[in-house]
Structure 1
Amino acid sequence: MQSPPSLWWSQIESTSPRHSLRGDVDVDVAIVGGGYTGLWTARELLRRDPHLRVCVLESQICGFGASGRNGGWVSALFPAPAASVIERYGLDSYTRQRLLLQEAVATLGNAAREEDIECDFVQGGTLSFARSPLQEVRARDYVADNADHGVDEEDLRWIEPAELKKFAWLDGARGAVYSPHCARIQPARLVRGLANAIEHRGATIYENTPVTKILRGNSSRRAQAMTLHGTVRADYVVRATEGFTPTMPGQRRNVVPLYSLMIATSPLPEAWWAQYGFDTFPTFSDERHLLVYGQRTADNRLAFGGRGSPYHFGSTVEPRYDANTAVFSQLSSSLRELFPTLDLDVTHRWGGPLAMPRSKFPFVTVDHDSGMASAGGYTGDGVTLSYVCANALADLIVTPGVPTPHSSLPFVHSHVQRWEVEPLRWLGINAGIALATWADHHETIHGRTSRASALLTRLMGA
């Protein structure tokens, strides 16, 4: 069964695969995975040292995974709560990380422009609507907690309904949390443009080339990425496989593949948009427990996604999991709830896996002795984080031992906590999804916080 085509891929003119690997190759850096992490890493390596021999090994075609299917948010969001970052690394490290992520939104857009990538990048900020008294309490508490951590109003604030209508509007909105640090993109155009850009810089891309095994280097041999039709020997092998990481040997417990699904409408007339605004193209969500996310696309569609698909036993990744009729139906219902006047015409339905570490902290690792390197674990916030982590990888490989803002991020070289063995992780993750669903249902029906909500807060650490 093939994955259902996304709206984003339907707008790509050419998806013809590049040549696959045939025979053995020697390079300086081999990158396993042709998504954002792998391609940004190749770009940043060659930007720092144009003489490096860099190749990318992609099992399908570049952008096949989450990089070509995501919600198109270039955001400053970090998957772990601020309190967890501060508890682990301290307030100063948290602040450095937050400011770098905020700057990275615009920097990523500038990098795309430098490479002549047209990906509909518009930095219109992001809105999280509060649509009930309980959601308003959560939203205001979130803003207050961030203020306690040193976040200024210019970076995050509560917007009252009167001002909110200047940005965008949803029926029943009591206000919203607003941050300017988010941009909307067409994600497949970014990833396909990046692939072309690194080729222009001198990298080689092998598509339809699954890596079956990665071997550590040592004093007598270089690191190796092995495929069915050849082996790549390199000083460094970078694993950049994100949601497909559990399919690789020995990686099943390092991250779990969570599925996020999306739908998109047909283009909506300007008269309809006049009711709701979104003229500056802010991305949007609301304060429910089970995450939803959306954007107004460049061709005036609504692209809308969310969680709710189950975790599959054994960290299994299969194309058939990219579609879930019940979740697609729930997304359609949620969209009608947010936009009651919408004459819903869904033209595209798709989905795919993202990677969640046990700690919810992403990782960047480089071992100079073995030549092993990796980055990932973005839990759905990977559009910006992949760019940031790629810069960290490039710094660590090209200028080892020289601290930089990226290589000094607190989560770089942090320990990757492994997930519990089955069936514990299947029970725990799916219980969390069920709790979030039940908590939202209880609040809608009864108008008060449920025990499920309190338990979910403790489980998620937020």
Structure 2
Amino acid sequence: MSVRVPLSDTFVNGDVSFWYRAEGIPRPGAPLDGDTEADVAIVGAGYTGLWTAYYLAKARPDLRVVVLEREFAGYGASGRNGGWLTGDLAGTPERFARTHGPLAARTLQRAMFDSIDEVVAVAGAEGIDADIVKGGVMQVATNAAQDARLRALLAHDRAWGWTKDDLRLLTAAERESRIRVAGAVNAVWSPHCARIQPAKLVRGLLRAVRGLGVKVCERTPVTELAARKAVTPRGTVTARYVIRATEGFTADLKQYHRAWLPMNSSMIVTEPLPSSVWEAIGWNGDELLGDLAHYYMYAQRTADDRIAFGGRGKPYLYGSRVDDRGQTHNWTISALWELLTGMFPAVADHRVDHAWSGVLGVPRDWCSTVHVDHASGIGWAGGYTGHGVTTANLAGRTLRDLILGEDTELTALPWVGRRVRGWEPEPLRYLGVHTMYRLYRMADARENAGLRRTSALARIADTITGR
């Protein structure tokens, strides 16, 4: 490691994620037990798959719904993410407006805001204790270039219909009263974000889905998707609809290998921090925290008084491979610790208790999609670009309406039916992604050194991958 990272006596690297430590890694349930017929087969038991199953079972209890999962429910990004139930779009309003107009893009944004409250409401109704607190999100600028981007972000969102109730600039006193970040020069705050404990949410949702009679088959990898069937080593599920809900693991399916790029994101979590640290940094409102760097970070104060802190690390593995049960490179742990202690010097005398990684799905145009082809019965949702905790709920409700053949406000949203070309073959996508993030790191370094505007290197990086 380039920076010495103090590790706790119980430090774990990988083992899926820290979120499973309290209750242990789940024991997978029964696999598929032979050829099966269903009305709907869903591939992937993360948020997207489970929300889709949940809303279908609530709307039509008579439907035979089968969920197929390679490992255990919540093994992927649903059990490893940063715990941000955020209203941010998985994409840009400009790109959605290009095909459906500005009003449709604004409607999609409002649907994202509403989805936060929908998740909170369902968790309450189903008795899912996922440490949910809707404390909003604070985004901080720590240099002049970031401040310029923060002000541009505020103006951009105002132009797309965000009011002062949706996003506002904080005064210096307000910023300090929320979270005291070393070197902060400005910040904005939005109420449209809630903290969650990701694994508690996905496991609670699994219990609710099974309670509704949905059959969830774990330890059942799907090797092929075709019209009205999902093929596994344990049998074939034949169904009127087959829904791909595989997000960052989509590249493992041969015919979809270049559909979504599996982007790696990594996290560390501290040991529980004493009251002296919290007195130094504040953070008493359970806000989520992000910044305006190109190589950005995201963080939460956990329910047991730790800081869970994430960023990109090493963003992509050659050939669209995915990590080994969350194992994280030492370089990444070091980089995250350096960034964390730079923002919160009071944490430097404490230790890291866990590090892990996971993959998220990135389409070529960086915009999420949801679709059902009634002719073949194949549907999908995903490409959430890191905003999947909330977007997956909206996707589940939208897939429900599409599968049931209903014309609703959800099926009219501009991400429905969106199609985009696949990623380039190797080695082009590896070179492109790693060049992009190398340029972002260089741009951040220049801006931290005093450049007062966004570095041209970051604009080149955006151009390379079409962000």
Give the structure-2-normalised TM-score. Answer: 0.94
Matched with 2:328 is 323
* DSSP-derived class of the 2:256 partner: coil
Task: Tell me which of 410, 419, 423 is aligned to 2:414.
Answer: 410
Amino acid in structure 2 at the alignment position of 1:160: T
* DSSP-derived class of the 1:250 partner: helix
Task: Tell me which of 260, 280, 290 is aligned to 1:285.
Answer: 290
Alignment partner of 1:244 is 2:255: no
Matched with 2:313 is 308
* DSSP-derived class of the 1:105 partner: helix
Q: How much has 1:166 moved relative to structure 2?
A: 2.7
Amino acid in structure 2 at the alignment position of 1:131: T
Matched with 2:17 is 6
Q: Which runs of 5+ in 1 are unaligned?
A: 217-222
8 Å contact from structure 2 (residues 437, 461) kept in 1: no
Q: How much has 1:456 moved relative to structure 2?
A: 3.0
Task: Tell me which of 128, 133, 140 is aligned to 1:129.
Answer: 140
8 Å contact from structure 1 (residues 129, 175) kept in 2: yes
8 Å contact from structure 1 (residues 112, 118) kept in 2: yes
String of CA shifts for 1:83-140, please: whole Å, max 9, x gaps.
3333343210111011111111111111111111100010000011111122111101
User: 95-104 or 418-427, which moves further after superposition?
Assistant: 418-427
Matched with 2:397 is 391
Alignment partner of 1:197 is 2:208: yes
Matched with 2:155 is 144
String of CA shifts for 1:341-370, please: whole Å, max 9, x gaps.
112310000001111000111111111121
Task: Tell me which of 252, 270, 286 is aligned to 1:265.
Answer: 270
Distance 1:155 1:99 in 2: 10
Distance 1:152 1:210 in 2: 45
8 Å contact from structure 2 (residues 280, 346) kept in 1: no
Matched with 1:49 is 60
Alignment partner of 1:377 is 2:383: yes
Alignment partner of 1:37 is 2:48: yes
Matched with 1:219 is none
Matched with 1:107 is 118
Alignment partner of 1:421 is 2:432: no
User: 8-17 or 302-311, which moves further after superposition?
Assistant: 8-17
8 Å contact from structure 1 (residues 322, 353) kept in 2: no
Q: How much has 1:421 moved relative to structure 2?
A: 2.0
Question: What's the % identity of the aligned pairs?
Answer: 40
String of CA shifts for 1:375-407, please: whole Å, max 9, x gaps.
110011100000001110001112x1x321221
Going from structure 1 to structure 2, the CA distance change for 1:320 and 1:30 (only over 3 Å counts) comes to closer
Superposition CA RMSD, Å: 1.6
String of CA shifts for 1:135-159, please: whole Å, max 9, x gaps.
1111011101211222111101111
8 Å contact from structure 1 (residues 12, 188) kept in 2: no
Going from structure 1 to structure 2, the CA distance change for 1:153 and 1:459 (only over 3 Å counts) comes to farther
Distance 1:127 1:60 in 2: 35
Distance 1:76 1:394 in 2: 21
String of CA shifts for 1:176-225, please: whole Å, max 9, x gaps.
11110000000000001111110000101111111111221xxxxxx111
Going from structure 1 to structure 2, the CA distance change for 1:384 and 1:190 (only over 3 Å counts) comes to same
User: 228-237 or 317-326, which moves further after superposition?
Assistant: 317-326
Q: How much has 1:459 moved relative to structure 2?
A: 4.5
8 Å contact from structure 2 (residues 432, 465) kept in 1: no
Task: Tell me which of 427, 432, 443 is aligned to 2:436.
Answer: 432
Distance 1:120 1:320 in 2: 24
Alignment partner of 1:234 is 2:245: no
8 Å contact from structure 1 (residues 260, 352) kept in 2: yes
Q: How much has 1:11 moved relative to structure 2?
A: 2.0
Distance 2:104 2:305 in 1: 40
Amino acid in structure 2 at the alignment position of 1:364: V
Matched with 1:353 is 359
**Number of matched residues?**
453
Distance 1:57 1:376 in 2: 17
Q: How much has 1:308 moved relative to structure 2?
A: 2.9
Distance 2:325 2:431 in 1: 21
Alignment partner of 1:276 is 2:287: no
8 Å contact from structure 2 (residues 143, 450) kept in 1: no
Going from structure 1 to structure 2, the CA distance change for 1:461 and 1:82 (only over 3 Å counts) comes to farther
Q: How much has 1:13 moved relative to structure 2?
A: 5.0
Amino acid in structure 1 at the alignment position of 2:53: A
Amino acid in structure 2 at the alignment position of 1:177: V
Task: Tell me which of 349, 360, 373 is aligned to 1:367.
Answer: 373
Q: How much has 1:23 moved relative to structure 2?
A: 1.2
Distance 1:454 1:375 in 2: 29
Distance 2:260 2:369 in 1: 11
